[in-house]
Amino acid sequence: MSGKDTYKDLLKTGNLKSTKHRNALLETLEQSGLPLTAEELFLRLKEKNVSISLSTVYRILETLVDKGFVIRSQLATGNKALYELSHKDHHHHLHCVRCRQIFPVDGCPLEDYEQLLADRFGFTVTGHNLEVFGYCEKCKDHKQDG
Amino acid sequence: MSGKDTYKDLLKTGNLKSTKHRNALLETLEQSGLPLTAEELFLRLKEKNVSISLSTVYRILETLVDKGFVIRSQLATGNKALYELSHKDHHHHLHCVRCRQIFPVDGCPLEDYEQLLADRFGFTVTGHNLEVFGYCEKCKDHKQDG
DNA sequence: CTCCAAAATAAGAATCATTCGCATTTGCAT
DNA sequence: ATGCAAATGCGAATGATTCTTATTTTGGAG
Ligand SMILES: [Mn+2]
Ligand SMILES: [Mn+2]
Ligand SMILES: [Zn+2]
Ligand SMILES: [Zn+2]
C-alpha cells in the first residue's frame, strides 16, 4: 500500500516527474481522507521521515491543484488553505464550529441548482464550493458553552 | 439617503457607538450591493472624502461581523476576504472566472439539504457558504481564451 | 453645557501564510 | 553514463490582516 512510485502513473498523466516528495505527499493525502493544511502535511511527512521543505510542500500542492489532482479550499473564517485529493467523487464537508472536526458527506445537492442557473441567468457553471457549519452530534449539547 | 447617523439605531442594537467611520462604511457597503474587500472599502471611503485608516476599516469590519451585521466570505482561490451587509435576505453569488464580475442570486438551494444533514448525521447546521464559479453570459463565448 | 471614562481611531510595526529567487540536486530521455 | 530540464532547499520577500500605543472622539453624568 505504500511505495515510492505509487503515483508514478498519475503524475505522468500530468507531465510531472515522479519524485519521492510528490509520492509521499500524495500518499499522505490519501491516508488522511480529510483535507489538510500545508503545514499539517509538512509535519506528517516529517513523522514519516520524509525530509522536505515547507516551500516544496506549497510548490507541490500548487502544481497538483493546477493539474486537477488536488482540491484547494479555504474556510470563510480560517486563515489556512485546505488540500485534499480530488480523485474521489465530488463531495462536501461539515465543519463543527466547536470541536473543529470535519465530516465528509458524499454527494452534492447542487446539480439541479446549477442547471437552474444556466437556464435562468445564462451562467455556465464550471464548479462550486460549499461548506456547511454547525454542531456535530457530540457537540450539539454544548451549543451554549463558550 | 446619506447622513452621518443613518445607522445609529442599528449600531445601538449592537452596543456600538455611532461614529462617522462606521456610518460611512455601512453606507458604502449598502450602496455597493456587492461584496467588497477591505481595501476597496478603504478606497471608496477616500473618494467620499472620508479620512480613515485601513486598520480602522479592518477593525470596524471585524466588529460588524461579530455583531452579525456584516457577512465575511473568502473565495477558495482569492486571497482577500469579501464583506457585505447581512440585513438583506440570505442569498449567494455567481463568480465569473473570466471577467471576475460577481452576480448575486436571490434565494438558496440548501434548505432541504440542511434538513437532510440533520436527519441523517445528527448535524445541527448553523450556516453555510456557497460560491458558484463559471462563465457569465458575456464571457461564455470566450471560454477557450486565456 | 462641561467634563470624564470608555470606546474608537491613526499610524505604523508585527504577524503569519504563502510565494519568490537563486543555487544545488534529481529524474529521465537519449 | 550524460546532459538538461525540472524539482528542491533555504532564506528572503510579499501581502493581507492584526496588534500596539498614543491620541481623539463619543455618549452620558452632573
Ligand atoms: Mn458539491
Ligand atoms: Mn445560502
Ligand atoms: Zn463537534
Ligand atoms: Zn464574465
Span B18-47, pLDDT tens digits: 999 999 999 999 999 899 999 999 999 999
Q: Alpha helices, DSSP H only, in A16-110?
A: 20-32, 38-47, 54-67
Nearest CA in chain B to A92: B130
The residue type at B112:
D
pLDDT for A70 beyond 90: yes
Does residue A94 belong to the interface with chain B, where contact is any CB pair within 8 Å?
A: yes
> If you classify domain A1-87 with CATH, what class do you get?
mainly alpha
Residues 6+ apart with CB under 8 A from A93: A35, A102, A103, A104, A105, A131, A132
Q: Are strands A124-135 and B124-135 parallel, antiparallel or unpaired?
A: antiparallel
Domains of chain B: which residue ranges?
1-87, 89-146
Q: How many contacts, defined by CB atoms under 8 Å, are there between A and B?
A: 116
Span A19-65, pLDDT tens digits: 999 999 999 999 998 999 999 999 999 999 999 999 999 999 999 99
Q: What homologous superfamily is domain B89-146 in, according to CATH? A: Ferric-uptake regulator, C-terminal dimerisarion domain (3.30.1490.190)
Does residue A126 belong to the interface with chain B, where contact is any CB pair within 8 Å?
A: yes
Residue nearest to nucleotide D26 (CA to C1'): B17
Span B75-101, pLDDT tens digits: 877 789 999 999 778 999 999 988 888
Rounded Cα distance between A136 and A82, Å, is 20
- Give the model's pLDDT for residue A43: 97
pLDDT for A3 beyond 70: no
Of residues A23, A4, A30, A12, the one with CA closest to residue A85: A30
Chain B residues closer than 8 Å to A123 by CB: 94, 96, 103, 132, 134-137
- Give the model's pLDDT for residue A144: 65
Mean pLDDT for chain B?
92
Span A71-84, pLDDT tens digits: 999 887 778 999 99
For the residues B127-141, what does the mean pLDDT come to?
92
For the residues A101-125, what does the mean pLDDT come to?
94
- Give the model's pLDDT for residue B1: 44
Q: Is the pTM of this model over 0.85?
A: yes
DSSP 8-state class, residue A34: S
- Give the model's pLDDT for residue B87: 76
